[in-house]
Amino acid sequence: MSTNLSQAPQVGVQLQLEERRRLRERDWRRRRWRRRRRFAALAVAPLLALVLYSYVSTMLQPSSLPLGIRSIEWLRAKGAAWIVNDVERVYYQLTAPAKGGPGLHALPRVGTAGLISRRSYEPRPIRPVLRPRLAGEGTWRSTGHQVAGAPPVLVTTYRPDPSYPRVVAYVAWIDHSRTLLALYPGRYEPPVGSPRGPMSVPLGERRLLLATFNSGFTARDGHGGFAVNGKVYTPLRDGQATVVAYRGGKVDVVAWSAADRLDPRVVLARQNLPLIVDSGAPAHNLADGSQWGATLGNAIRVWRSGIGIDRHGNLIYAAADYQTVGSLAEVLIHAGAVRAMELDINAEWPSFMTYRHTGTLVPIKLVPNGQQPANRYLRPDDRDFFAVYRRVPGARLQVPFR
């Protein structure tokens, strides 16, 4: 008993020493962690400063886009496209439309009625996919202009998919014999080259303006060529789907080849991915998601737009929400396209406007894009775009930049 009592103070001292040792180790670990955090902060601070500088300087540059869209595009350009891709993919999967549901009772009103001349060729009404046909569905309407006694641009809407009865396709038909097609660089697309011109519809040509519409992917995403008036801004690639216009006014949608490249009659060429419609049928590679945009491929139903050529050589533009590239191809085929290509996708980008001349130029949206104003192409725009002009007798196509 006396031995145990004599050892008790020693045990207490040892416990105190052990506790002090643990406290010293804990304090040392805390100090080490603080030092590491300071070192990490000092190392990261310059990087964060560079990122902040890049973001702020980019946001302060002139742009036609709202802050949110510019921020997303900045992330893409700075190598963070995978973050945007993942977020978009999750968002579109969560908001994907359910099949079926109640149908529409009426379609959006587009164009005007009563100005179509039977003396010239006009496309047949688009055959309804859903029955009963709604009032005006698939019926071509004039946009209020006549050239040589007939309307040069016609528009219509129809429901393209029985599985999604509330989805509406917006379609325009452009008579190549009464119009001239122009392609204009935007502020940042294509990314290199000059002249850029006004980056909007030139003031001197607005008296002849009939319509404008969006172009294709950015050069970074689409890897396609861009050429105007013999000036190659981005190299043209063999096999790529290409909108082409020639000096005499003829237009086409083709798979580009070396023969096209050498043709001096070509006044404009804009490429975007491979053809999605060829010989009046969907292209064979539409199931390959990697072909149709790094963000969404062909797996997600989103806003998509496209341009095709009918068997008479006239252009057909189409845009619709909740589309895969395959369903977009079907929309264009159903509207009469024998060859077609995808243009830009996602809700921000598809735009088609017609114009009313009433002393001032009044833009009218065909595609109901709520993220872009109707006067999008009447002021400098970040991306390249197409314009459709009234053909003047004897005029030969030269894309104007004045």
Contacts of 293 (CB under 8 A, 6+ apart): 217, 221, 273, 345
Beta pairing partners, 365? 353
Res 8: pLDDT: 63
Q: What is the pTM of this model?
A: 0.84
Res 15: pLDDT: 72
d(CA 288, CA 308): 20
- Amino acid found at 44: V
What are residue 340's phi and psi, to 5 degrees? -160, 160
3-state secondary structure of 282: strand
Domain ranges within the chain, ordered by starting residue = 141-390
Q: Using H for helix, E for strand and C for coil, what is the string for 43-79? A: HHHHHHHHHHHHHHHHHHCCCCCCHHHHHHHHHHHCC
DSSP state of 300: S
SS3 content of the chain, % helix, strand, coil (to 5): 30, 25, 45
CA distances from 162 to 104, 131, 171, 351 (A): 12, 9, 18, 25
CA 137 centroid distance within chain = 26
d(CA 159, CA 140): 14
**Mean pLDDT, contiguous 10-residue spans, the chain (402 residues):** 58 74 82 81 76 76 80 74 69 74 86 62 91 94 90 96 95 95 94 88 93 94 88 92 91 87 84 95 80 58 95 97 94 98 94 94 95 95 96 67 52
CA distances from 314 to 73, 205, 310, 338, 390 (A): 34, 22, 5, 10, 14
CA distances from 338 to 181, 241, 254 (A): 19, 13, 10
Give the tokens for residue 396.
Answer: 């030969």
Beta pairing partners, 355? 363
Contacts of 261 (CB under 8 A, 6+ apart): 236
Res 26: pLDDT: 83
